[in-house]
Structure 1
Amino acid sequence: AFMNAYHVIDKFHVIKNIIEQLQSVRIRYRQQELALRRKAKQKKESFPEVCFSNGDTTLQLLARSRGLLFLLPNQWSIQQKQRAEILFELYPEIKTAYHCVLKIRQWFTAPKGKSTYKKTREEKQYKIKQLIDELKQTAIEEVENIAYLIEKNSAQILHYFIAKETNAKAEALNQNLQRFINVNYGARNTDFFLYRVKVHFT
C-alpha cells in the first residue's frame, strides 16, 4: 500500500532503552549495598555508614544519582556535578556506561551542512560498528545489552538519517484510530468503518 514507506526505529525510543540499561547498572550497585546491610542486620552487627563530602550516604548517592544520568553533563546543576564526580570515582562501571550512552546520543546528531543520505549513512554505519565493538569490550553486562540491541536493529536505526524523521506521526495516528474504534464500539462492518475513518480524518 505504501510503496516508499520505510521503518524507522524511533531515536527517542532507542535513547530511552539505552538509558534504562544505564540505570540498571546504578540499581545493581544499590541492590548490592542493600544486601550488605541486610546481612549485617541478620548477624546483628552494626553497619559502618559512609558520608561523602556532599552529605550523601552511599545509598543516598546511588538513589539521588538517578536524575543526573538522564541528563547531558552541560545540563547538570552544581550539586549534580559534585554528585556525579563522587559517583563516578566510586563506581567506574557507572562512569563507563554513562560515557557509552553519551557517545550513542552524540552519534544520533545529524551532520551539519549539506550531505547526501548515502554519504551520511555510510559514515554513521561505520561509526556505529566501531561503537558496538567498543561497547562489547567493556565487559559490563548492561552495556553489552545496549550493543546487542543496536546491532540487532541497526538497519532500522540508520533509517533515521534519511530525513531525520521518527515514527511519532504514525504512532499518533494509530492512537487516534484506536480511540476512534473504542468510541464507535469496534469495527464490525469494515466497509462502513473505513468510510467513517476517511470522513473523520480528512
Structure 2
Amino acid sequence: MAGNMELICKRCFPQAIRVTDRFHVQKLATEALQEMRIKYRWEAMDAENEAIEQSKRTGNPFQSEILHNGDTIKQLLARSRYVLYKKPSDWTASQKDRAELLFGRFPDLKTAYGLSIGLSQLFENTKDKVFGLANLAKWHEKVRQTGFKAFNTIARSIQNHYQTILNYFDHRSTNASAESFNAKIKAFRSQFRGVKNIEFFLFRLTQLYA
C-alpha cells in the first residue's frame, strides 16, 4: 500500500520533494525509551513476585522498598511514563523528584532519555542540511556506543531514510497541515456514517475546504 501511495504521489506531483516528518522520527525515539522503561517495570514486577513467594516459604513478612516520594520501585517505573515524554524544563516539582529517583536507580534510562531529547533538540536547533547530516552522524555514534537494541533499530531506520529526513531542513516542513486536514475529513465523514457516493463526497469536500 505504501509503495502504491508513493507511486501515486510521484505521478501527481513530479516536482515535489519528499520529506520524512520529524515528529514521526522523534516518536520512534520516544517509543524506544518507553520500551526500555516497560522492560524494567516487568523485571521489577517479577522481582517483587519472587520476593513475595520467598516470604511465604520462609514465613518472613514481605515489605516493599518505599522511596522517599512514597513510590515503590514498581510504581516509580509505572508513574514515570509521562515524565519521559517531557523536557526537563516542563517537569513539575514532583516529576523532577521522580526523574532523579528513576535515573539514579536506572542509569540506562537516563542515557536513553538523553538520546531521545537529543534527537528532538537536533531538529529544533539545526539550521541546514549540512549541519543536519553532521549532527545525525554524531547522534548515531552516541547510539552505537550505548548498545541499546531499541535505539539501534531506530538509527538503522534513520540511516535508510536520511535523505528524506534531511529534506526537512530545507523549509522545516512537517505533515501537521496534512494531519489536520485528514482529521477534518474523518470528522466530516463520520457525520454520515460512511460514504456511499464517493464522487459526491469529494465534490462536497472541495466545496467546503478547497
Query: Which band: TM-score by shorter chain?
Result: 0.7 to 0.9
Matched-pair identity in %: 34
The alignment status of 1:163 with 2:171, answered yes or no, reads yes
> In 2, distance between residues paired with 1:49 and 1:199?
63
Q: Corresponding residue for 1:81? A: 96
For 1:187 and 1:180, how far apart are their aligned partners in 2? 14
The answer for unaligned runs of 5 or more in structure 2 is: 1-11
Alignment partner of 1:97 is 2:104: no
Give the Cα separation in 2 of the matches to 1:194 and 1:22: 41
Equivalent position to 1:50, from 65, 82, 99: 65
Rounded Cα–Cα distance in structure 2 between residues aligned with 1:186 and 1:180:
14
Does the 8 Å contact 1:37/1:47 carry over to 2?
no
Aligned residue among 128, 131, 137 for 2:139: 131
Which one of the candidate residues 75, 79, 83 is aligned to 1:64? 79
Aligned twin of 1:141: 149
Cα contact 2:21–2:168 (8 A) shared by 1: yes
Tell me the residue number matched to 1:5.
Answer: 16
Q: CA deviation at 1:10?
A: 1.7
Partner of 1:32: 43
Q: Distance in 2 between matches of 1:68 and 1:129?
A: 27
- The structural deviation recorded for 1:38 is 2.3
Contact 1:181 1:187 in 2 (8 A): no
Paired with 2:100 and 2:204, the residues of 1 have a C-alpha distance of 58
1:21 partner SS: helix
| Letter of the structure 2 residue corresponding to residue 9 of structure 1 | T
* Paired residues of 2:33 and 2:116 also in contact (CA < 8 A): yes
Of 176, 187, 195 in structure 2, the residue corresponding to residue 185 of structure 1 is 195
Task: Report deviation, 1:90.
Answer: 0.7
Q: What residue identity is the alignment partner of 2:172?
A: K
Deviations 1:107-138 (A, max 9, x none): 01144xxx6xxxx1011111101211210220
Is the CA contact 2:195–2:201 (under 8 Å) kept in the aligned structure 1? no
CA contact (8 A) 1:69 1:98 kept: yes
Residue of structure 1 in register with 2:121 after alignment: 106
Structure 1: runs of 5+ lacking an equivalent: none
In the TM superposition, what whole-angstrom CA distance separates every residue of 1:9-62 from its partner, at most 9, and x where no partner exists?
Answer: 222222222111111111111100111122334443554421222222111211
Deviation at 1:153, TM superposition (A): 2.5
Q: Is the 8 A contact 1:30 1:59 kept in 2?
A: yes
Aligned length: 193
